[in-house]
Amino acid sequence: MFGTLTVFFAALVNSVIVTGVVAWHEGSAPFIGWFVAEVAICTVRLVVLAVSLHRAERGRSTPTDLYIWISVLWALSIGYGGFITITTGDWVSTVIVCLSSAAMAGGACLRNYAAPRFVVLLLTCNLGPCCLAAILSDQPALLVVLVQTPLFMVGMTAGAFRLNRALVATMQAERAMVRLALRDPLTGLLNRTGLEQGFAGRAGDALFYIDLDGFKRINDRYGHAAGDGLLQTAADRLRQVAGPDALVTRIGGDEFVVVAADHDNHSAIALGNDIAASLREPHAIDGDLVICGASVGIAVHDGGVRPLADLMARADRSLYRVKAMGGGARLADVERQGELLPF
C-alpha cells in the first residue's frame, strides 16, 4: 500500500488531467460524468491512503480491504473511459486516453507486484473494456488491440509473478539472517544478542543462570555428537519448564539463561527447582542412561531500571558460589542473602 508512492501520486494527477482535458474536448455528458467520477475516486483514494498511513504509524490496523476495492473501482473507471473514447471515433481523445491507460497499467504492475493476482485484476479492469470497444468499432484496424492487449497482459503478469518470487525470496533470506543473528544454531534458543533484544527489564522478572554439571565428562566420553544431542534435549526441557513467555537462551557451551516474568524471590526459587529437576532427568546415550545435573544462580528484578547485565552479573555470582561448593544446587539472589540449597 505504501510502496512506490511516487507512482501512485503521478497516476492520480495524470488521470484527473486526462479526464478533464477529454471532457473539455468532447463536451458530452458521458465524458463530463467520467471526469467527475474520476475526481471523486481519486479524492477517496487519497483520504484512505492518509488514514492508512496515520494508523500504520501508530501500529494500528489499516483499511486495506477498502483500499483494494477503491483501486479496483479506479481501474474500472479508466477502462470505462477507454471504452467510451474509442467508440466515439475521435482520434485525438483516443490517443490521449489509450496512452494514459497503457502508462497507468504499467504503473499498476510496478506498484503492486507483491500481489500479482491483484495485478491481473487491475489489468483486466483497465484494458478489457478497450478490447470490447475495438470489437464494436467500425475500424477493422483496431482489432489488432485484441492481439496487443493479451500479449501485454501476459508479459506484465509474468513479470509481476517473477518480481513477487524475488520479493518473497528476499524476505525469506532476511528472516533467515535475523534468525541466525538472534538464535543459537544448535538448540534454536536465543543467543546473547537475542536475549538483549528481548529483555524488557520489567519489575518482577527473574533471571536464572544455569550451568550443566558434568557435561564435559559426558562430552569427552561419548563424543561431541552425543554432547550436542544432550544440549538440544536440555534446551527442549528448559522451554517446556519455563513456558512460552520466557526468554530461554544458550549463552555458550553448556551455559543457559532463562528470564521469566512475574516472579518474586519465593516463586523464583520454585521455578529454579523445576528447572533443575527437569535437567536431572536421565538422558539416553548409546544405550546408557546418563544423568547430567545443573547448578542454578538466581537474580530477581524487583523494580526500578536495572539493565540485563546487572541481573546476569548477580545470577552469575550466585552460580559461582554454587559451582565452588561442588555444584548440584541452586542459590537465590545473593543480594537477598540467598541460602545455598541442594536440589
Judge if 83 and 107 occupy the same domain. Answer: yes
Total Cβ atoms within 10 A of residue 297 = 29
Q: Which pTM was predicted?
A: 0.59
Look at residue 257 and give its three-state secondary structure: strand
Judge if 311 and 255 occupy the same domain. Answer: yes
pLDDT for position 181: 85
Residue 124 within a domain: yes
Q: Is 254 a catalytic residue?
A: yes
Residue 77 within a domain: yes
Strand segments (E) across the chain:
206-212, 247-252, 255-260, 283-285, 288-290, 294-300, 329-331, 340-342
- CATH code (residue 54): 1.20.120
Judge if 131 and 55 occupy the same domain. Answer: yes
Judge if 170 and 22 occupy the same domain. Answer: yes
Residue 187 within a domain: no
Judge if 19 and 127 occupy the same domain. Answer: yes
Domain end point (choices 181, 207, 232): 181
How many structural domains comprise the chain?
2
Domain range spanning residue 323?
192-342
- Structure confidence by residue, pLDDT tens digits, 236-271: 999 999 988 899 999 989 999 999 887 777 888 888
Judge if 287 and 215 occupy the same domain. Answer: yes
Q: Is 59 left (phi over 0), alpha (psi -120 to 50) or beta?
A: left
Domain end point (choices 181, 208, 225): 181
Q: How far apart are CA 142 and CA 95, in angstroms?
A: 12
Q: How far apart are CA 254 and CA 213, in angstroms?
A: 9
Cα 98 to chain centroid, rounded = 39
Judge if 13 and 33 occupy the same domain. Answer: yes
Q: How far apart are CA 268 and CA 99, in angstroms?
A: 71
Q: Is the pLDDT of residue 341 over 60?
A: no
pLDDT for position 1: 54
Q: What average pLDDT does the structure give for the chain?
A: 86
Residue 49 within a domain: yes
Q: Is the pLDDT of residue 48 over 50?
A: yes
Q: Is the pLDDT of residue 303 over 70?
A: no
Residue 65 within a domain: yes
Please say whether the beta carbons of 42 and 12 come within 8 A: yes
Residue 186 within a domain: no
User: Among the options 184, 254, 316, 333, which is catalytic?
Assistant: 254
Please say whether the beta carbons of 293 and 230 come within 8 A: no
Judge if 210 and 95 occupy the same domain. Answer: no
Judge if 174 and 86 occupy the same domain. Answer: yes
pLDDT for position 202: 58
Which range, of 74-78, 109-113, 147-151, averages the lowest pLDDT?
109-113
- CATH code (residue 200): 3.30.70.270
pLDDT for position 343: 42
Judge if 212 and 80 occupy the same domain. Answer: no
Say how many residues make up the chain: 343
Total Cβ atoms within 10 A of residue 276 = 22
pLDDT for position 330: 59
Residue 230 within a domain: yes
pLDDT for position 342: 44
Please say whether the beta carbons of 131 and 117 come within 8 A: no
- Structure confidence by residue, pLDDT tens digits, 177-232: 887 888 998 999 999 988 888 886 555 688 899 999 888 889 889 999 999 999 99
Residue 90 within a domain: yes
Please say whether the beta carbons of 250 and 188 come within 8 A: no
Judge if 217 and 335 occupy the same domain. Answer: yes
Site of grid cell 491483484? 118
Domain end point (choices 122, 154, 181): 181
Total Cβ atoms within 10 A of residue 181 = 11
Judge if 170 and 202 occupy the same domain. Answer: no
